[in-house]
Amino acid sequence: MSAYSDILKSPGVARIVAAQLTARFPSGMLSLAFLLHVEQQTGSYGLAGLVLAATSIGQAIAGPFTSRLMGIHGMRPVLWITLAVCSVAVVVIGLIPPLMPVYLIVGFIAGLSSPPVQPAVRTIYPKMVNSKQLTPLFSLDASAQEIIWVLGPVVTTFVSTQVGTVWGILLAAVIMIGGGLWFISSPELGLVRIPRSKRRFGVVLARPAVLLGTIIGFLLVGASAAIEAGVVAVFGHGGAEAGLVLAVFAVGSLVGGLSFGHLPIGPWAMARRMFIIFAGTALAAFVMEFWWLAATLFIAGVGIAPVFAVIFATVSSSVKFSDTAEAYGWVGTGQLIGAAIGSALAGFLIDGSGAVGAFWVAAGFALAGFLVALGGRPWTPDLRGRDAGPIPDTEPVSIQPG
């Protein structure tokens, strides 16, 4: 733990970590808030899953594009515009009549305008700490973000079930605006400038580590989205059990991230951690009861933050600094497509086979993630004893003596 305390003592690190966590906190609220609200309005988990899919597809399309724009126009202008549009769209979702075409359109707009906070902050990190602290910082970030998934579902479930689903959505919008303003006003955004990339849009995805991280993120988040839908379907709207089980799932991730964060990242790291997720998810599908789901999803959660930490570190070490924001944008796009497909598949299987169908989907995604990580070992950079920072855009030019 001393390594993490030393990192947080670095100038500005604690502030930027707290600001970006607050700005991203609605991520842990909106999927569940939309699911509860649309299902209550329409009576169908399948239709609610489609709204989540539309939102996630919008985010997936925007991710690399808005990240790339930060290198052209600067971080603050892009964040200001996306924050304004997204917050309005979220409020509209909560207030409009239950018309599916309108839900889908506004949900898509909300996703398309999602502020690129995650690519921004992970581009800033390498400029705030030394090379030895970067991998633990990525792990701390991946672990700390689980606060979003611990408190977010609990807060959303409590407000939506005890006060109303509209208020669950509006609360998320308020936090989005407040956290976004705090993050955008942070001094670090003015001190770090993302260089304009000299490469064509999308070329960075050809980097093996970026492509692998994108695919693994797609499968991991697909499994997580299916688990979230399944847990909600098991416990319904009658109490706080769904939020508590999802909070335990996130606590497992927090524990795993802090436990594995100091370990060096080798070629086997991704596969080992994905197997933990698969094992816990597969076990969860056997019994649809509170304590069993809490225990098995805690096990599955232990692998979540460690996998994200491996993705962040390997991507960072494999691209030039000017390409890091776009690379993280593609990784985020993979995750969001996974969320869209995972939510949609889980929703329709819930309607057809009951809540257990969602856990079948989740186990399938997690198994595929483990197999891809196993096959992708040659593409996973060995960071044991290596700097996880991005490749400099300018390199020394060797001059031959005349």
CA distances from residue 352 to 79, 167, 334, 341, 358 in whole angstroms, order as listed: 41, 30, 27, 17, 10
* Nearest-5° Cα angle at 167, 164 to 172: 135
20: pLDDT strictly greater than 80? yes
Give the mean model confidence (pLDDT) for residues 42-53: 81
CA distances from residue 313 to 87, 123, 340 in whole angstroms, order as listed: 31, 11, 25
Q: Contact at 8 Å (CB) between 180 and 189? A: no
What confidence category does residue 149 fall into, taking pLDDT thresholds of 50, 70 and 90?
Answer: low
Question: Does 8 fall in a domain?
Answer: no
Question: Does 272 fall in a domain?
Answer: yes
- Tell me: the pLDDT tens digits for 50-90? 888 788 788 878 878 887 788 778 888 999 999 999 999 99
211: pLDDT strictly greater than 60? yes
Domain with residue 33: its CATH number is 1.20.1250.20
Q: How far apart are CA 80 and CA 99, in angstroms?
A: 29
* Nearest-5° Cα angle at 168, 277 to 64: 55
Element at 233 (helix H, strand E): helix 208-235
Structurally, the chain folds into a number of domains equal to: 1
Cβ atoms within 10 Å, residue 392: 10
* Nearest-5° Cα angle at 276, 204 to 260: 70
- Tell me: the pLDDT tens digits for 302-329? 998 888 888 888 887 777 766 777 788 8
What letter does residue 25 receive in the DSSP assignment?
T
- Tell me: the pLDDT tens digits for 4-13? 677 777 777 8
The predicted structure's pLDDT at residue 393: 52
Sign of CA dihedral 18, 19, 22, 24: negative
The domain of 217 spans 14-191+201-379
Question: Does 6 fall in a domain?
Answer: no
Q: Which residues contact 294 (CB under 8 A, 6 or more apart)?
A: 244, 245, 248
Statement: the pTM of the whole predicted model exceeds 0.85: no
Question: Does 323 fall in a domain?
Answer: yes
Half-sphere exposure of 42 (CA within 13 A, CB side): 22
